[in-house]
Amino acid sequence: MSVLPLTAYSQEKDKEQIKGVLAEPDNAAEVREQIALVEKMLPQLADRGAALYFLATSKQHVGETLEALKLLKECLALREGFDPAGSPSLKVLKGSKEFDDLVAGVHRDFPAVAQARLAFITEEKDLVPEGLAYDPGQSLFYLSSLNRRKIVKISAEGRVSDFVPAGRDNLLPVVGIRLDPRDGTVWANSWAEATQRSELLHFDPGGKLLGRFAPTDAAKHGFNDLVVRKSGEILLTDTVSNQVFQFDFSANTFTPLPVHRPLSGPNGIALAEDDRQLFIADDFGVVHVDLEGGASSDVNPGPRSTLAGIDGLYWRKGSLIAVQNGIGSPRIAAFKLSKDGTRVTQTTVLENRSAFTSLPTTGAIRGNDFYFIANSQVDNMNAGKVMDVTKLAAIRIAVVRLP
């Protein structure tokens, strides 16, 4: 699910002016705690630019504009691909010469890339989709809906129909969605941000609900994206608890997956073809986990590249395909990896600042093509409801050829 740079809150609040003084946001204390934590983590992170960008947006959120600009300048000097022009947190700085000059420099270094084309379009404008998956056996795409709390299917010809209709199973907003490689059944995460409740859902190929599973503890959870191993084991990201869980279907248990550093808003997740290498995206990059040996490390993005802010994450032939909507202006990129999967050897921007990157979230690979949600409209949702129905538009699924 797409989230704002500070993943602990669902929507950035405008500051209120009280007696001529700008009041701090309600969550200022929490944000300052996050700032302190990231400052402590910074020396051990593989991507310094990611931490600097996070700190810049956080400082601006609590009204420390001068410090935010200083951190932003340091981040952008690394030329990794961060583009503050599309940042909700930094939008108040637009129009100032200092900020506009920084943006102009980024756009010179990272020009617009428009290679995608329109693949499908939905008639329902109020889906607010989040997850996309492809079923090669049936030549179908599955698209999950946050607002309608359902799943639709899209045929190869572009016909859209309900796979799981709204209201039938009393679902929470549906987020990430993946197919089970063993039998073609469908697994999906669901997450109500207002209550921080989550469920893992299982459907048969016809859309019948086979099971729903939730943690039994009292903690808050935000199940986001997921992968399914060849054994049937589910691994899913929990954006709220900052963990990745292993779900054992036979025991109906969720077990935290240990990694070498604290995760910050884990989101996208991908599994290599060997069923052993796991890749977890969070605010600061991608963590590589050896599921057999248990070792983990940050994937080194290499110079002038960043793996930060990834929503949808997918494995393809030794590369990671990513929807990056947490780096300011969203983009689609491919990252070629070293043989051991621990560092990026080549970064290719596939789509950037085009008509198809207004707010992409996730995608799905079909052959040599990457299909992705171009205009999710998740920024028009708050507490599980659409804020402005007049801004809703038909949902566009775009496609771009992979390198």
What pLDDT, in 10s, does the model give residues 355-376? Answer: 999 999 999 999 999 999 999 9
pLDDT, tens digit (0-9, with 9 covering 90-100), for 320-339: 999 999 999 999 999 999 99
* % of the chain surpassing 90 pLDDT: 92
Best CA proximity match to 176, nearest among 78, 270, 249: 270
Which amino acid is residue 267, in one-letter code?
N
pLDDT for the residue numbered 25: 86
- Residues 224, 176 contacting (CB under 8 angstroms): yes
Instruction: Assess whether pLDDT exceeds 50 at residue 94.
Output: yes
The b/e string for 178-199 (b: 16+ C-beta within 10 A; e otherwise) is bbbeeeebbbbbbbbbeeebbb
| Range 126-151 average pLDDT | 97
Give the pLDDT band of residue 169 (cuts 50, 70, 90): very high
The predicted model scores a pTM of 0.94
| Range 258-278 average pLDDT | 97
pLDDT for the residue numbered 22: 53
Give every strand in the sheet of 234-238, ordered side by side.
223-228, 234-238, 243-248, 253-256
Q: How far apart are CA 208 and CA 322, in angstroms?
A: 31
